[in-house]
Amino acid sequence: MNDGNLWLIHPDGSGAQKVTDEPGGSRYDSIKWSREGSMLAYVRDSNIYMLDMATMTETLKVEKVAGGLDWTLTGRRLVYDSYIYPGGSIGSEANDGLWMVLVNGRS
């Protein structure tokens, strides 16, 4: 990660390729490759995104998450940590447990 964006780079430091184009100051958490390496899932500014490496297409999957995520063993879903906002106030968040989202859908 550099300049508030994600980059791919070879282990020897060559071949740097910018894969996101966000204004500086974005916060990334829980960056995880799919098992076969075709997708990259990550949390940016409390939202879960997936990046298809073949098309370099980014898709918003879930909004307002706590920050943790991982792929299920089958690779068909993402498990993530959710917030609950008592009274709708983001400043008073509490953990609402683990949730799942389909990789090829939004539920």
pLDDT tops 70 at residue 90: no
DSSP state, 76? S
| Average pLDDT of the segment spanning 14-20 | 87
Q: What is the mean pLDDT of the chain?
A: 81
User: Which residues are registered as beta bridge partners of 5?
Assistant: 2
Q: Is the pLDDT of residue 107 over 50?
A: no
Distance of CA 79 to the CA centre of its chain: 11
Residue 19 pLDDT: 82
**pLDDT, mean of residues 64-84:** 86
The pLDDT of residue 105 is 61
CA-angle at 38, arms to 41 and 31, nearest 5°: 25
pLDDT digits (tens, 9 = 90+) for 24-41: 767 788 899 999 999 999
CA-atom Rg of the chain in angstroms: 15
